[in-house]
Amino acid sequence: MSRVYNFSAGPAVLPEEVLKQCAEDMLDYKGSGMSVMEMSHRGKVYDSIIKEAEKDLRELMGIPDDYAVLFLQGGASTQFAMIPLNLMKNHKAAYIVTGQWAKKAAAEAKKFGEVDVVASSADQNFSYIPDVSDLDIPEDADYVYICENNTIYGTEYFELPNTKGHILVADISSNFLSRPVDVTKYGVIYGGVQKNVGPAGVTIVIIRKDLIRDDLPESVPTMLKYKTHADADSLYNTPPCWNIYVCGLVFKWLKEQGGLEAVAVKNEEKAKVLYDFLDQSKLFKGTVQAKDRSFMNVPFVTGSDELDKEFVKATEAEGLVSLKGHRSVGGMRASIYNAMPKEGVEKLVAFMKKFEEEHAEDVNNA
């Protein structure tokens, strides 16, 4: 067996300890005589799995009792519709567009009401987070929407927008559990888990309970109401049982790491190794304004498509995989989520140094 350093943006690297635990539990989960994939979601054993997962998540993120935690399906993309469908009363919302995912969310919301794009960084290919300290937010907007970490472009909010009293809704798919968070600042905070938390198939929605409405129109599909899932403790229908169990193992792993404060310190250290190298490199350049650089997704380029291709190919032979950038940025992207060990980043940087030395001629010609 040989594991690679996997820099994929998602589905992405999971902690080795968690994968080993999955393997150990596979045929016989804690004496039940079956795997978690095979057991009833209504049984006692599964009940304790999902309850414990929720309890550990609440502890990690400090989620207050007046917030519900929902384990849903349909990916983060389904939330692009569920959010306006459940939160729009005045049929108006403010969106801050900082990349493809925010753009998609805004486009979906338009199906349900008026969307006011109150800030955007489209003018510079989403390479920064706009100033969000004093936005012109319509008085009657139902909420303000952000994508807190832009997986494709590698930007991250380090200060939340001044919503001027409006509810804040945030997509945290790619920075979920990467650092401490003050849940009380949000009305809804959600993410697909396949970037930083678990296997694809679970979307976690954390929603302030007073925003869960029971006065939605009859026409709203049952499965798309937050109330349906909140009332049934995420067991209205069959949940993605095994995937939630794996998320639960990851929560335990994060607690063992010392919780989100400790995890954030590690993530910052890891990102620094890469950004420090990029800042002084003559060949590789980061694509994002320094103040907004994500701790999770690090895009970079050489400036030559040919060299980029050669680099990606060469890294694969070294066991450094999935470094090809998203087509809308080009070049490379290193996703360095919680489960990426610092050694992985150090090995990548060492290889970048070597590649740069070997291509000194290209640097001089550039």
Ligand X SMILES: *Cc1c(COP(=O)(O)O)cnc(C)c1O
**Could you tell me the smallest distance in angstroms from the CB atom of residue 25 to ligand X?**
25
**Smallest gap, in angstroms, from Cβ of residue 293 to ligand X?**
16
- State yes or no: residue 319 binds ligand X (CB under 6 A): no
- Point out the catalytic residue in the list 142, 171, 292, 308: 171
What's the token pair of residue 59? 């502890």
Of the pair 54, 171, the CB lying nearest ligand X is at 171
Q: Which residue number, 78 or 302, has a Cβ lying nearer to ligand X? A: 78
76 binds ligand X, rule: CB under 6 A: yes
The residue range among 13-21, 63-71, 72-80, 324-332 that interacts with ligand X, by the rule CB under 6 A, is: 72-80
Give least dist CB 322 to ligand X, A. 14
Shortest spacing between CB 98 and ligand X, in angstroms: 10
Q: How far apart are CA 98 and CA 117, in angstroms?
A: 10
Least distance to ligand X from the beta carbon of 174, Å?
4
Contact 223, 203 (CB under 8 A): no
Contacts with ligand X, 182-201, as mask; x by CB under 6 A:
----------x--x------
Cβ-based burial of 189 (10 A; exposed 0-12, middle 13-18, buried ≥19):
buried
Which CB atom, from 39 or from 76, has the smaller least distance to ligand X?
76
Peptide bond into 11 cis (omega under 30): yes
Determine whether 253 is an active site residue: no
Give me the residue label for tokens 């004496």. 31
Residue number, nearest CB to ligand X: 75
* Rounded Cα gap, residues 66 and 27, in angstroms: 38
Site for ligand X in 89-108 (CB under 6 A): 101
Stretch that binds ligand X, among 45-53, 58-66, 74-82, 126-134 (CB under 6 A): 74-82
Q: State which residue, 35 or 77, has the beta carbon closest to ligand X.
A: 77
d(CA 189, CA 346): 32
User: Is 195 among the residues known to form the active site?
Assistant: yes
- Angle between helices 44-61 and 241-256 in degrees, nearest 10: 40
Place of tokens 């459940």: 86
Distance in angstroms (rounded) separating the CA atoms of residues 66 and 227:
14
3-state secondary structure 27-87: CCHHHCCCCHHHCCCCCHHHHHHHHHHHHHHHHHHCCCCCEEEEEECCHHHHHHHHHHHHH
> Which residues would be at the binding site for ligand X (CB under 6 A)?
10, 75-77, 101, 147, 151, 171, 173-174, 192, 195
Catalytic residues: 101, 171, 195
